[in-house]
Structure 1
């Protein structure tokens, strides 16, 4: 038996108001733990159109029904329509998640801004963006955030330093196979423990190799069959919280049958001893089914 931490990325205003409440109800009904990570500033989803020249982006869009999942109006925010401020409009929705017993944390201030610009900007930019999100979180919840999960798995050493300086206790900003401590080239820790996403997401799988919305859960359950190592599964309020709720129900039932415990990132982190975690670099690389570079669990620092 293993633990599977459910990490829920909430990217948009629509996902917050229409996807989060049913997800909360579904998970409570199932008795599953989970961590909700919120986008807290303006929804500028429409500006993602500027990724059209990125290799693989148009192919991903064509096979994952972006308009159907996100809605046409959402795809106009920040381009032809002003981007609604998610944190201001949906503070009550966010607080209701914590009141329901779930862990809450920070995804970002502006999802598209972070995802498209982090790697091209300096450390001061990363610090400023993260501080805006963390300050808004404190305004909404009355307490400081302990967990962060980077938008689009866009992350680097500057962002790790920002987490460390702003009191983030643990994070899930990367892709990988097991928890680790991020370190600089000299081997010095640069941020809190990373609990990387270990399983592929629905939008990375659907439309490839004969995988459909109706059988994608079977593919994921194959990955966790007889697993003894803990996993982190990232789901999205705009997908599993809305049109693909049936996939999440099938996954929860399957994981329960396999004997796995469904937990939050906090629960998973509580089982770890940071002193014994491997000390690894943060790398940039690609993931099958997703366009562009992502932050990956890298190699150990040479002695």
Structure 2
């Protein structure tokens, strides 16, 4: 089964018919799954988790990002007394999603400097132990994990340790990007579509608005057709294929996702009742 969604629900104006406070409800009238990226920037209070659960349909699913302190992105002061406290608070934060049956998976996206070496492998094992009660998907950003001499071992490591695999479509720009590797290592696989903005992918070091343009990309139908083939290939390997469009910078993600849904001939059931076909005639 292929499910389609977006990374976050706050930056897709074409989807909204209500007030800003009801954006998640509006979003869930269009798509059955979303990536919760707020969890990356801060461990969310349990009250937020319960609120989002309440605002979505019974079968709605969340892909919850790991907090940045877990994946090694954190810059500045460490706001916890210990690593153990960080993991405990994060587990408490995401447990309501699991208990409600709305946790698709936890996304551990490691940074471009997280290279394939013994220390990194040991740390991923620690993450597996700390999050042993949760489905976890691993996304790498350093291409060493898929170098010819390590690729097979990387995929086998994910499989043996019961990790889902994140298959990425992104610009191929140096070591800080990974190739598209259409392999599932479990019964679920995540496909994250970051766009193909080659010139904006790497931070030049002096552009404070870099992140605003990094994901500036509009997939054309030929590119989406190629991605369709990838997803259908993955569907033969895994029970669930979760596809998330992350090309949000220019507001293209929602329309690309709708186009992709039509190309696959998918009708999502159990959506929120506000569904309005705002995209009629666009395809």
Name the TM-score, length of structure 1 as normaliser.
Answer: 0.46
Larger RCO of the pair (alpha carbons < 8 Å, separation 6+): 1
